[in-house]
A = this chain, B = another copy of it.
Amino acid sequence: MTVSKTAEKSSEKPADTAKGRKDAAEGSGEALQLGELSEQLGYVLKRAQLKVFENFLRCMASLQLTPAQFSVLLLVEKNPGRNQTEIASTLGILRPNFVAMLDNLESRDLCARIRSTNDRRSHILVLTDKGKAVLARAKKLVATKHEARLNDLLGPSNREALLGMLSKIANEF
Contacts and interface: CB of A to CB of B under 8 A. Distances in A.
Interface of A: 1, 3, 5, 7-9, 11-16, 22-27, 32-53, 55-56, 67, 70-71, 74-75, 77-82, 86-94, 112, 114, 116-119, 122, 124, 126, 128-129, 139, 142, 146-147, 149-150, 153-154, 158-159, 161-163, 165-173
A129 B2 CA distance: 9
Contacts of A39: 163
A26 B118 CA distance: 8
Given A3-B126, A14-B92, A154-B168, A53 B47 contact: no
A173 to B, nearest CB: 5
Contacts of A82: 24, 26, 32
A111 to B, nearest CB: 10
The majority secondary structure among interface residues of chain A is helix
A67 B42 contact: yes
B1 A79 contact: no
A173 B45 contact: no
